[in-house]
Amino acid sequence: MKASEQILSRMKSHKTLLCCGLDPDISKMPKELIEKNISDENKILEFLNGVIDVTSSHVCAYKIQKAFFDIFPDGHNALKETVSYIHRYYPGIPVIIDCKIGDIENTMEAYTKNLFEIIQADGVVANPYMGDDVIKPLSLFTDKAVLVLVKTSNPSSNIIQDVRLENGQLFWHHVLTLVVNRWNNNSNMIPVISTTGNVNLKEIRNMVPDNMPIFLAGIGAQGRSYSNLTQLINSNNTGVIINSSRSILYPLSHNSWQDAVEEEAVKLKNSLNEAIEK
């Protein structure tokens, strides 16, 4: 089954739009783990395995920011082991690696070999700025999900993404058109969209096929609202991936850290469900 199909299937079977971001920041991890006499990589693994154990029944996918692993000497293996842990104990939950790749020819071959063959990721976030040379090779991995940056949530994105083309179309809108009509030949594309700025959510959903999930950026610690979520859902009341990392991983609570993480995941999952049921 394609990774995008797995995501849609879990959305329905587990009644969840939630994607948990696994971005390990040792400085924010529970004190009991920080003080352990083990390597930083093992602290990360113990923390993330605990997070995965308590969130697995509440998520449609996991997204891992690769940069948080790259800063450690054995971070590559820690990343690989994290992906392996999910596949081994919670099969059917796709794991997306966020490293925003976007290069050409042999460099793309090296990226895909590492991410898909060695790390065994189910998807990747890609930067389409270099065009077909980036996205078309990724589209050939038919069982993988390719999350393409279209409209992002960072404050200065508008200086590029909101540039108006000669035909009057905004640049990000043009990129979305490419994702849907040019690059989705194998039905494995997922556009990354934010609700910030000049965005017509209904128009986006009308452009995007019913079986194409949309990754909605800027929810969680970035503080964006999901009050307009109903405008993005598909005919099955699913189809929108909502990622949250920091607000789930590092909640303020007096409970055990595992309980606090699960409570935060359940809270966000339920809030999302309430938003689409209104």
Which residues are catalytic, by number? Answer: 100
Among 228, 225, 218, smallest CA distance to 21 is for 218
In the block, residue with structure tokens 């093992």: 42
Q: Which two tokens stand for residue 215?
A: 């990754």
Q: What are the start-end ranges of the H helices in the chain?
A: 3-13, 31-34, 40-55, 67-70, 75-89, 105-112, 132-139, 158-161, 171-181, 201-207, 246-249, 257-277
Residue matched to tokens 């959903």? 205
Kindly state the tokens that stand for 208. 């995007």
Six token digits for residue 211: 């079986």
The 3-state DSSP composition of the chain as helix, strand, coil percent (nearest 5) reads 50, 15, 35
Residue 25 CA to residue 36 CA, distance in Å, equals 15
Measured between alpha carbons, how far is 130 from 110 in angstroms, rounded to an integer?
17
Structure tokens given for 206: 């009308």
Relative to beta strand 145-149, strand 189-194 is: parallel
